[in-house]
Structure 1
Amino acid sequence: MRRYLIVGSGVAGVSAAQTLRRLDPAGEVTMVSYDPFGYYSRPGLAYYLTNEIGEKQLFPFQEKDWQALKIRRLRAWVSRLHPAEHRLELSDGASLVYDRLLLATGSQALPLGIPGADLEGVVKLDDLADARRILNLCKRARRAIVIGGAITALELVEGLRACRLQVTYLLRGSRYWSGVLDETEARLVERRLAEEGVHILPHTELAAFQGQRGRLTGAVTTTGQHIPCDLAAAAIGIAPRKELAAAAGLRTERGILVNDYLETSAPDIYAAGDVAQIVDPLTGEAALDTLWGPARRSGAAAAQNMAGEAARYLKQVPFNVTRLAGLPVTIIGRVGQGADQDVAGIVRGDSETWRQLPNAIIVEQSYEVNRLRLLVGERALVGAVVMGDQTLSRPIYELVRGGVDLSSCREALFSSPRPAEVIGEFWRSWRAQSET
């Protein structure tokens, strides 16, 4: 009987456990995690903050689902990994031995490295405990500031506004999410935030937090401006939890380096999810993803290899549907705009591939709240941002993923005042031909 050990209870770890149980019903599967809440939807935390879903809806599994999996679950902190001995050491001194090990340790929010960051009222949105803490603080808070960029920062802004707080959003750069959105897209989001009562301060960087009796009372910018607040939420980026692997001598960079089979540099040890740094076929570089879909797929692929099936994992074109200031937004492929001053590295719900600067011509179609930006390469679409109407999201994803030759409609895309109609008609024709 083979002994499988999974470190981490997020979507990558659970997907691996499900796959292992299917492929090896007799195998011994143990999942180790220090998270007191276990497996829940991290993307759902944004909707929990806005009271659109209840806490119970964050949990995909009930106890009967765990029982059906027939795995052993341990709530424990892993202190050391001994690859040569095929052994994990827990913080209480106990040890676990394995035949195959999966590291699905995820990632964690980067701290704000400024004075006063430890005051009560300075928060992040990294897990369910953070979300509970924010909602509790909102009961007595009136004024909040949000620092950071990308999706999580906006989730915090909207969550705090839903709690009826006055919200000021600080941007170090000139506009929101400048590494992914172009200026028109960013201004559309900012305008909608302003309509919701959010005060946006661009070119603003914090120097310190101020407090009394251990509680936050305000913040001071690098220019000396004082901003009164009793809650401050930061989303400046995340870091993969690679410390366990690095201390054990596994090859790491920003995350744990793996090959196409999710194998690390140590025999019988695999990595998946946020912590795994995998070569992106679009760029040829090892990249990170913090998207739910890739985490689930990489966990399943790692489990296939752990069970003895040779399953090559190829990163797919990054695709994420999110909501920015109440507006549905889909980001596909490479849409890069360069550096983003408001985040360090990668954030949750993010892909490093998005920020790659493609060699492409941009085609745009924009209305008041509906906007389409297509990045057209020499032969095929390489990326897109779809804001508002999502009719074309899936068709465009299929075209980007398939590297479909656009030669027959390329000229029309560039000359038509309605490129959305051109690409939609091309997709319908392509699908019809593919199905015959």
Structure 2
Amino acid sequence: MGLRYVIVGAGVAGIAAAESLRTREPSASVTVVTDDPAGFYSRPGLAYYLSGLIPETQLFPRSPAELRALGLTWVQARADALDPRTHRLTLADGQILAYDKLLLATGARAALPDFPGSDLDGIVTLDSLADTRGIVRRARQGLQAVVVGGGITALEIAEGLNARGCRVHYMLRGARYWANVLDPDESQLVEDHLRATGIILHHHSQIREAIGKRGRLVAVETMTGERIPCELLAVAIGTHPRLDLAQSGRLKLDRGILTDAYLKTSAEDVLAAGDVAQVYNEVTGKATLDTLWATARAHGEAAAATMAGIPTPYRSAVAQNVTLLAGIPTTIIGSVGGGEDADLVAIARGDSETWRMAASAWVVVDPHPVNRLRLMLGEQTLKGALVMGDQTLSRPLQRLIAANADLTPIRQALLADKSAVADLIMSFYAEWEQSHADKR
């Protein structure tokens, strides 16, 4: 009789773990518990569905037949309580599941606003497929909408509503968009594009109150007394890991569930992965949160190996995200920013704390009206890079940063001639790749 594996959460971390466990132990019992009726779908894809760029069917990375073929036991319920001492999980309907190994992949939920009127009908978040379906149902030509928040998600909501014909007001508390990741010129590129598509930007603007009539949103009032009529208010001010279940089991917590490098929590036979896991990095000596799809998948795979008796540490890769910022293809790699963002109360989806851990570095910028390259150059290596527009350099930069490649041979040239940065990087990368191929 194989071990009883239970996974709470059907996001990418949970499913990656389930697939890996099934491969490693074909006869084991693998149970997935989720309270999301939609099952496994792509959270990063929700914005593209909202914008109308893809149909809902494309949100599902695995077909029902593929999931059935894994031989998983699916339990549609909310997990309410955990008792690590007895290795039991209690569900909301009273059912009790016994486990030998448990993985908590409960994800994160959208942070909610605290201004008066925040419970009115018409105030929404982009937290799940159900949320997105609800926004799509509400959105229509000419509808007045307000978006508040920073980072990728708020921008995606503003663009999605605009694409569906809404008149969108985007409110920013600070002087510019995503100030702790983008530099002023990059923020300006994004904001100029938003204005060109008809989105109305409000800087240094904060909601004092949401105003309702018979329980429905009709307007928002700002701290300066400005009143903006609206029927929809979308809030994207960050996410908080779902810690209720971990709290019931008295696991060690910080902002997320604290784990070691092997994704093990403070409780025996309980691991955590994905957006909920605050994972210790043996190199930096810090435990950080990420809300990146690739990171969550890697967490799930490493956790599954450890659960199956092959202790496998999660090796932190260079944090990277490829996205569209106001229609501009953008890749963010490694450490590129720092400081606080007034529009976010917590880490946003599609974000990594490591992006803002930049050590002292020289900034090298190759500017262009749309194409833009920013390098964070250390004494010998690249610490981070941001590429907007033409993505030719994205993979070479990712490889060079991940490998801590020694850029000393071209460092002075990079600092001396910004107009030649792209050519210098491509030439260096070609030689670097060849030298590594010869060694292999």
Give 1:280 deviation, angstroms. 3.7
Q: Distance in 2 between matches of 1:86 and 1:378?
A: 50
Q: Distance in 1 between matches of 2:58 and 2:29?
A: 30
Whether the aligned pair in 2 keeps the contact of 1:375 and 1:384 (CA below 8 Å) is yes
Whether the aligned pair in 2 keeps the contact of 1:278 and 1:315 (CA below 8 Å) is no
Percent identity between matched residues is 50
1:426 to 422, 425, 428: 428
Give 1:356 deviation, angstroms. 1.6
Q: Secondary structure at the match of 1:19?
A: helix
Q: Which residue of 2 aligns with 1:51?
A: 52
1:282-317 superposed Cα distances (whole Å, 9 cap, x missing partner): 643110000000100110110001001121111111
Whether the aligned pair in 2 keeps the contact of 1:5 and 1:102 (CA below 8 Å) is yes
Q: Which residue of 2 aligns with 1:101?
A: 102
Whether the aligned pair in 1 keeps the contact of 2:259 and 2:277 (CA below 8 Å) is yes
Q: Distance in 1 between matches of 2:187 and 2:280?
A: 30
1:241 corresponds to which letter in structure 2? R
Equivalent runs, 1:229-248 vs 2, <5 Å: 229-248=230-249
1:69 corresponds to which letter in structure 2? L
1:423 corresponds to which letter in structure 2? I
Whether the aligned pair in 1 keeps the contact of 2:105 and 2:274 (CA below 8 Å) is yes
Q: Distance in 1 between matches of 2:67 and 2:436?
A: 41
Q: Secondary structure at the match of 2:234?
A: strand
1:28-78 superposed Cα distances (whole Å, 9 cap, x missing partner): 000001101010011110110111111111112222112210010000111
- Quick check: 1:398 aligned with 2:395? no
Number of corresponding residues? 436
Whether the aligned pair in 1 keeps the contact of 2:261 and 2:281 (CA below 8 Å) is no
- Quick check: 1:339 aligned with 2:340? yes
Residue segments in structure 2 that go unaligned for 5+ positions in a row: none
Distance 1:420 1:388, change over 3 A: same
Give 1:270 deviation, angstroms. 0.5
- Quick check: 1:18 aligned with 2:54? no
Equivalent runs, 1:269-288 vs 2, <5 Å: 269-280=270-281, 283-288=284-289
- Quick check: 1:61 aligned with 2:62? yes
Q: Which moved more, 1:421-430 or 1:173-182?
A: 421-430
Give 1:212 deviation, angstroms. 1.0
Whether the aligned pair in 1 keeps the contact of 2:103 and 2:272 (CA below 8 Å) is yes
Q: Which residue of 2 aligns with 1:145?
A: 146
Residue segments in structure 1 that go unaligned for 5+ positions in a row: none
Whether the aligned pair in 2 keeps the contact of 1:279 and 1:315 (CA below 8 Å) is no
1:55 corresponds to which letter in structure 2? E
Give 1:140 deviation, angstroms. 7.0
1:425 corresponds to which letter in structure 2? S
1:431 corresponds to which letter in structure 2? E
Give 1:247 deviation, angstroms. 2.3
Q: Distance in 2 between matches of 1:394 and 1:76?
A: 41
Q: Which moved more, 1:61-70 or 1:346-355?
A: 61-70
Distance 1:405 1:152, change over 3 A: same
Q: Distance in 2 between matches of 1:78 and 1:238?
A: 20
- Quick check: 1:179 aligned with 2:194? no
Whether the aligned pair in 2 keeps the contact of 1:181 and 1:337 (CA below 8 Å) is no
Q: Distance in 2 between matches of 1:406 and 1:281?
A: 25
Moved over 4 A (4+): none
Give 1:119 deviation, angstroms. 1.3
Equivalent runs, 1:341-380 vs 2, <5 Å: 341-380=342-381
Q: Secondary structure at the match of 2:80?
A: strand
Equivalent runs, 1:149-228 vs 2, <5 Å: 149-228=150-229
2:38 corresponds to which letter in structure 1? F
CA-atom RMSD in angstroms: 1.0
Give 1:216 deviation, angstroms. 1.1
Whether the aligned pair in 2 keeps the contact of 1:338 and 1:356 (CA below 8 Å) is no
1:311-354 superposed Cα distances (whole Å, 9 cap, x missing partner): 11111110110001100000000011311000012010010111
Q: Which residue of 1 aligns with 2:255?
A: 254
Q: Which residue of 2 aligns with 1:414?
A: 415
